[in-house]
Amino acid sequence: MFAVHVSRLGRVPEPDSTKPVLAVDVDGVISLFGFEGPAENAPCKFQLIDGMAHCIAVETGARLQRLLPHYELIWATGWEDRANEYLLLLLGLPALPVLHFGGAARFGSAHWKLEPIGDYAQGRRLAWIDDSLDASCHEWAAARTEPTLLVQTDAAVGLTDAHVDVLIDWSGGHV
């Protein structure tokens, strides 16, 4: 399911069942790709992570920080523990719970995340932001007994202020 993980960045807090869960993907939400034009015009700051350049959207940290009072944020990404290891300082976030997928991660799709996300958010409202939501994700969300919001991003743009506004409105003001 998920790991409560102690790292050099601190202990991941226990789940907060008073807030809805926000499952956050990394690639296509925080780490952008597929944008037009030369690298020097990219909508991000390039960071070397595990020897690979990632285009980390500059405004994403502040946008995710705006969501912290409203949601329990969790990493729902093939990055798994690497999200806490590499992104917290870049984004100004506290350590977050991490979902593990047992090697099922497949770039360009999200259906392999359904069971771990569902297990973690069981009995709770859930919002999920990802760039690869497919029909199976929408069917799964519609079948959940708890309210569920799927937020699709464009991988070349990532998380926007408009997404954040929708997520805050949907959270019902859980502050």
* pLDDT tens per residue, range 41-75: 767 788 888 888 888 988 999 999 999 999 999 99
- What CATH number should be reported for the domain holding residue 120? 3.40.50
Which structural domain range is residue 91 located in?
A: 2-171
Q: Which backbone phi and psi does 127 adopt, to 5 degrees?
A: -115, 145
pLDDT of 104 over the 80 cut: no
Whole-prediction pTM value? 0.86
Per residue in 150-162, pLDDT (tens digit) is 999 999 999 999 9
**Domain count across the chain:** 1
Q: What is the pLDDT of residue 65?
A: 97
- Judged against a pLDDT cut of 90, whether residue 174 lies above it is answered with no
| Token duo for residue 55 | 């285009």
**Cβ atoms of 131 and 25 closer than 8 Å:** yes
